[in-house]
Amino acid sequence: MSSATPTTGSAAQAQRLTERPAWKALEDHYATMRNLHLRQLFADDPHRGERLTAEAAGIYLDYSKQRITGETIRLLMRLADECGLRERIAAMFHGERINVTEKRAVLHTALRAPETAQIVVDGVDVVPAVHALLNRMAAFSLQVRSGEWQGYTGKRIRNIINIGIGGSDLGPVMAYEALRYYSRRDMIFRFVSNVDGTDFEEATRDIDPEETLFIICSKTFTTLETLTNAHAARAWSLRKLGDDRAVRRHFVAVSANAEGVSRFGIDTENMFGFWDWVGGRYSMDSAIGLSTMIAIGPENFRAMLAGFHAMDQHFRNAPFAQNLPVLMGMLTVWNNNFFDAQTVAVLPYERYLKRFPAYLQQLTMESNGKHVTLDGTCVAYQTGPIYWGEPGTNGQHSFYQLIHQGTKLVPCDFIGFCQTLNPIDSQHDLLMSNLFAQAEALAFGKTGDEVEAEGTPGWLAPHRVFEGNRPSNTLLVKRLTPRTLGLLVALYEHSVFTQGTIWDIDSFDQWGVELGKALAQRVAPELEGMDEPPLKHDSSTNALIRHYRHLKNGPL
C-alpha cells in the first residue's frame, strides 16, 4: 500500500545507530574477536564449516570463514531487529515510498511478481501492467528472433545494439555475457554506453545498418551520453538507409519519458515503458532487459524472473539467521564497521560472470555510497564499501598477492558453480579447486613454523609467511542458468538494502552523480571553437582546459 506522505524511516530509526544496545554489544564483542584467528575458531568447533552455512532456492552460502562466532551472528541479527529491518522489508514490498529524497516507492520486486500477485501503488495494482509489458516485450522479441521484424530494406535483423548507460547498460551487458550460453549465436549483441566516440565506432564498424536494430534505453531520456549516442546511431543508419522512415524499423526505445522519445523521433508505438518506482540500477528485469530477452528468448527471461522472485520470497519470509541476503548484508556491516574493511572483492569462478563485478559496482556503490542518514544528519560511521573484482582464476595472477599478504583486509565473496556449461576434460575441477584453495589459504595462511619446516632459509621465511585470518564467503550454485542468475542478482540487491537499512541511508537515490554532470555542461562549450574563452574555474581546471585546447587545436 503506498502512503501519501514520504516515509522517513520507522520509529526505530530515531535512535542513532552507534547508540543502539546491539551496536554497543557488538563493539564489546569485537574487542574479544579482533585477535581471534580463524585457525583457532575452526579448531574449537570441528563442525563449524557445516554449521555456519545457509541454503535457499539452490544457493549454498558458506560463511564459516568469516571472523565470527555464533554470538556475532546473534548480535548482528539483534542489530537488524533494532534497526527495524523486518518493517523496512515489509515497507519496500508493500510499495511505501521508502526512497524518501525522491519520494518514490521502490518496487523492483513487482517486476518479477507472478501474475497472481497484487501490489498496489497509489491505489492501482501494478502487476497487470507489469505482465502486459512483459507480454509486449515477448511478442517483439519473438518477431525479431524469427525474422518477422525486418529492417527497412526487408533484410533480417542480425545485430542488436543497446544504447544506454549506468543501469540502462550494466544490467543488460552483464546479463547478456552471463547468459551468452543460452543466447542466439547467429545474432550479434553489442552495448554502447560511453560518450567516447570510440565506443560507438567500434560497436558499428563491421556491421550493416540494414540488419541493425538499436534499442535506446534511458529511463529519463535526458541522459547526455545516451542521447548523444542515439543521435550518432540515427545518423549512421540514415547514411546508408537514406530515409527518415527507416527509423521506425531500426529504433525502439525503453523509457519512462514518452515525450522525450517522440521528440527524438521514435514512434511511441515502438516504445517500451516503465515506472518511476523502478530505479535504474534495479531495472535489468524491466523493459531495460529487452536486449536480454531477444538474446535468450522470452522463456529463459521468465525463468530468470522466477529466480529473482524466489530470492525475493526468501528475503521477505525467512528468519534472519537463515536469510541469505540478511546474512551477507550483516556480515558486510561487521567487516566494514568493526574490522574497518574498506572494500569487498567479488570473485566469480565463472568466466560468463566477467561483468558481474562491474554490475555490482553500480548496484552497491550508487546505492550505499551516502554520507547522510534519511533525515539528513551526517553519519558518524562508515557506509558502503568499495566493491570490485574479476573472475577467477585470472585475478590470482594479478591482485590476489595483496589480498593474501598485503596490509589491507579485503573480505572476499567467492562464487562458483558445481556443473560447468563447457566441459573440457577436467578443467572445471581445476577451476573449482582453485576457488576452494584460495578461500582456504586466505583463512588459514601458513605460519612461520610451517615455512621453516619446509627448509626455507631464515632470510626468506618472512616473505613466505601467510598470516591468514582473511575473511570470505563462498557461494555455491549447481549450474549457471537464467534462474540462478536471477537468484544471485536478487541476493545482492537485498544484501545492499539490508546494509542501507542498518546505516539508515537512502539506498535508492543518487544525488552524488549530479554535480559532475552539471559542471561538465559548463565546461563543454569552453572546449569548442578557436577563440580562447574567458575561464572562471580554479587555477588547476583553467590550466588543464588551456593545455587541452592548445594540444587539441595544434598539429597532429
Beta strands in 97-179 (DSSP E): 120-121, 124-125, 159-163
552 is catalytic: no
397 is catalytic: yes
Q: Is the dihedral of CA 6, 286, 480, 414 positive or negative?
A: negative
Q: How far is the CB of 288 from ligand F6P (least distance, A)?
A: 8
Q: How far is the CB of 49 from ligand F6P (least distance, A)?
A: 39
Q: Which helix (H) or strand (E) holds 297?
A: none
CB 222 within 8 A of CB 259: no
CB 292 within 8 A of CB 284: yes
CB 506 within 8 A of CB 370: yes
Q: Which residues of 242-265 are buried (b: 16+ CB within 10 A; e: fewer)?
A: eeeebbebbbbbbbbbeebbeebe
Rounded to 5 degrees, what angle do the CA atoms 174, 54, 418 make?
Answer: 50
Cell numbers for 19, please give them.
Answer: 547508540
> In this complex, which beta carbon is closest to ligand F6P, that of residue 90 or of residue 224?
224
> In this complex, which beta carbon is closest to ligand F6P, that of residue 366 or of residue 413?
366
Rounded to whole angstroms, the Cα distance separating 179 from 182 reads 5
Q: Out of 517, 532, 547, 550, which one is annotated catalytic?
A: 517
Pairing label, strands 343-349, 386-388 = parallel
Q: Is the dihedral of CA 284, 487, 125, 296 positive or negative?
A: positive
> In this complex, which beta carbon is closest to ligand F6P, that of residue 142 or of residue 523?
523
Beta strands in 193-250 (DSSP E): 212-217
> In this complex, which beta carbon is closest to ligand F6P, that of residue 166 or of residue 209?
166
CB 22 within 8 A of CB 78: yes
Rounded to whole angstroms, the Cα distance separating 311 from 493 reads 10
Cell numbers for 397, please give them.
Answer: 595472477
Q: How far is the CB of 171 from ligand F6P (least distance, A)?
A: 9
**Positions that interact with ligand F6P (CB under 6 A):** 165-168, 218-220, 223, 226, 280-281, 366, 510, 513
Q: How far is the CB of 275 from ligand F6P (least distance, A)?
A: 13
Rounded to 5 degrees, what angle do the CA atoms 146, 148, 153 make?
Answer: 125
Q: Out of 366, 390, 493, 526, which one is annotated catalytic?
A: 366
517 is catalytic: yes
Rounded to whole angstroms, the Cα distance separating 207 from 52 reads 52
Q: How far is the CB of 293 from ligand F6P (least distance, A)?
A: 18
Q: How far is the CB of 427 from ligand F6P (least distance, A)?
A: 36
Q: How far is the CB of 363 from ligand F6P (least distance, A)?
A: 10
Rounded to 5 degrees, what angle do the CA atoms 127, 130, 131 make?
Answer: 90
CB 295 within 8 A of CB 176: yes
Q: Of the candidates 363, 356, 214, which has an alpha carbon nearest to the alpha carbon of residue 280? A: 363
Report CA Rg, the chain. 25
Q: Of the candidates 478, 484, 162, which has an alpha carbon nearest to the alpha carbon of residue 305? A: 484
Rounded to whole angstroms, the Cα distance separating 553 from 223 reads 28
Q: How far is the CB of 176 from ligand F6P (least distance, A)?
A: 17
Rounded to whole angstroms, the Cα distance separating 198 from 11 reads 51
> In this complex, which beta carbon is closest to ligand F6P, that of residue 221 or of residue 301?
221
Q: How far is the CB of 202 from ligand F6P (least distance, A)?
A: 21
Q: Out of 47, 371, 397, 536, which one is annotated catalytic?
A: 397
> In this complex, which beta carbon is closest to ligand F6P, that of residue 458 or of residue 516?
516
Three-state DSSP at 100 gives coil
> In this complex, which beta carbon is closest to ligand F6P, that of residue 141 or of residue 193?
193
Known catalytic residues are 366, 397, 517
